[in-house]
Amino acid sequence: MATLRANTDGTFSRREASLPLILTYIFLIIGAIVMIMPFVWMVSTSIKPDREIFGDSIRWIPTELDLQNYSDAFEQTNMPRLFVNTVAVTAVAVASQVLLGSMAGYAFARLHFRGKMLIFFTLLTTMMVPFEVLIIPVFLLIKFFPLAGGNDILGQGGTGLINTLGGVMFPNFVSVFGVFLFRQFYLNFPKEIEEAAIVDGCSRVGVYWRILIPNSKPVMGTMALFAFLWSWNDFLWPLVVVKEDSLKTIQLGLSVFDQEQGTAWAELMAASVMAVVPVILLYIFLQRFLVSGGLTSGLKG
C-alpha cells in the first residue's frame, strides 16, 4: 500500500505506508466511528417506522423511509415556538456578549485609568467560579428583580423575571471569557493605526468604532460562535427560570418531551435531530473560528 504524503513545500511524494501509519489509521477510524455512531443511530431511528425500531435485529438503513416521525415531533413539541424562543434568547446573548466584550476588552487593552489592574484581576478571578455554584443567588436576583413581574422597587410582591425570556437572557448578557478574548486581541492589534487616527483628530470612541470594530471580525466570530453554543445548548438555567410551555427553549422542550413520550423513540430522535442540526451546520461552517481563536488564545493567556 502506498500513500501520497504532503511535503512542507507543497509537493507530494509517494512513500510506502509504514506499519505505524496503518495502525494510526485503524485506531483513528475506529475511534471516529464510535464517536459518530450515536448520531448515525439517532438519524437512523428518526426515519424508521416503529416495527423496524422494535424489531429483533438492528437495521442501520431502514427499508422504508418514514418521515411521519418528524411531523409528529414537530407538532407535539410545538417546535416553531421553541425555535422562536431559542433564537431570540441566543441572538440577544450573541449580540450582547460581542458588544460588551469588545467594549470592555478595548478599555482594558488600550485605556489607562485608576484601578484598572484591580478591576481586571477581580474579573479574572471570577472565571474560576462555575455558574452552577452561583445558581441560588442568581435565581434570587431574578426573582426579586426590582419593578419586574409585579415586583415593587425593593423586589417584593411579584415573581420578578421568573418565567420570562428576559430572565433566561439576563445571565448571558456578558461573559468574562469574552472580555479576555477581546482584550487579548486588541493588545496584539497594531497601535500605530490608532495613534495616526487620534493625531488626525479622531476621538477615542471614534477609534473604537471606526477602526477596531471593523477589524475585529475574527475575534467576533470566535466570540459569537461560543456565545451561540452556550446559549443554544443551555439547559439548567432555562429549566430553573421557565415554567410556562410557551416560553420554553428547544433544550427544555426536548427534555420534557422526553419524559412525556417515554419510549416513542422515533419521535424523540426526530426532535433531537431538529434541535442539533442548526448547531452542527453552524459549527461546520464556522469551525475555523473555534479552533484558531478561542482555545489557543485562552491557553496562552
Partner 1 sequence: MNLAVSKRVDWEGQRTDWRDRLYRFYNSQAFVAFLFLLVPVLLLAALKIWPVFYNLYLSFTRYELFEPPRFVGLKNYKYVFTNKTAFQSIINTLLFTIEAVPVGTALALIIAKLLDQSIRGRVFLRTLYYLPVVSSVVVSAMIWRWIYSPQHGLLNYFLGLVGIPPQHWLNDPNLALISLVIVTIWGSIGSNMVIFLAGLQDIPRDVIEAARVDGASPVQSFLRITVPLMRPVILFVVVTFTIGIFRNFGLIFMLTQGGPFNRTNTMVWEVYQNVFGYLRLGRGAAISVVMLVIVLILTLISFRVLRERQGA
User: Do you know the residue count of the chain?
Assistant: 301
254, 259, 265, 270 alpha-carbon torsion, rounded to 10°:
-10
Nearer to partner 1, 37 or 196 (CB): 37
The answer to whether residues 79 and 73 touch, using CB atoms and an 8 Å cutoff, is yes
Nearer to partner 1, 41 or 196 (CB): 41
Nearer to partner 1, 95 or 140 (CB): 140
Nearer to partner 1, 76 or 255 (CB): 255
Nine-digit cell string for 3: 500513500
Per the listing, cell 477596531 goes with: 212
The CB-of-235 to partner 1 minimum distance in angstroms stands at: 4
Distance from C-alpha of 271 to C-alpha of 244, rounded to nearest angstrom: 19
Nearer to partner 1, 29 or 196 (CB): 29
The CB-of-251 to partner 1 minimum distance in angstroms stands at: 4
The CB-of-79 to partner 1 minimum distance in angstroms stands at: 14
The CB-of-231 to partner 1 minimum distance in angstroms stands at: 11
The CB-of-71 to partner 1 minimum distance in angstroms stands at: 19
The CB-of-87 to partner 1 minimum distance in angstroms stands at: 15
Sequence-distant (≥ 6) Cβ neighbours of residue 156 within 8 angstroms: 144
Nearer to partner 1, 15 or 217 (CB): 15
Looking at the DSSP bridge assignments, the partners of residue 2 are 16
Nine-digit cell string for 208: 473604537
Q: Could you tell me which of 295, 289, 151 has the C-alpha nearest to residue 222?
A: 289
What is the largest distance, in Å, between two alpha-carbon atoms of the chain?
78
Q: In which region does residue 155 sit, left (phi positive, over 0), alpha (psi from -120 to 50) or beta (all else)?
A: left
The CB-of-189 to partner 1 minimum distance in angstroms stands at: 16
The answer to whether residues 202 and 210 touch, using CB atoms and an 8 Å cutoff, is yes
Nearer to partner 1, 28 or 147 (CB): 28
String of b and e for 273-301 (b: at least 16 CB within 10 Å)? bbbbebeeeeeeeeeebeeebbeebeeee
Nearer to partner 1, 217 or 288 (CB): 288
- The CA–CA distances, whole Å, from 172 to 94, 96, 176, 292 equal 9, 8, 10, 23
Distance from C-alpha of 34 to C-alpha of 5, rounded to nearest angstrom: 27
The CB-of-169 to partner 1 minimum distance in angstroms stands at: 12
Written as one letter, the residue type at 125 is T
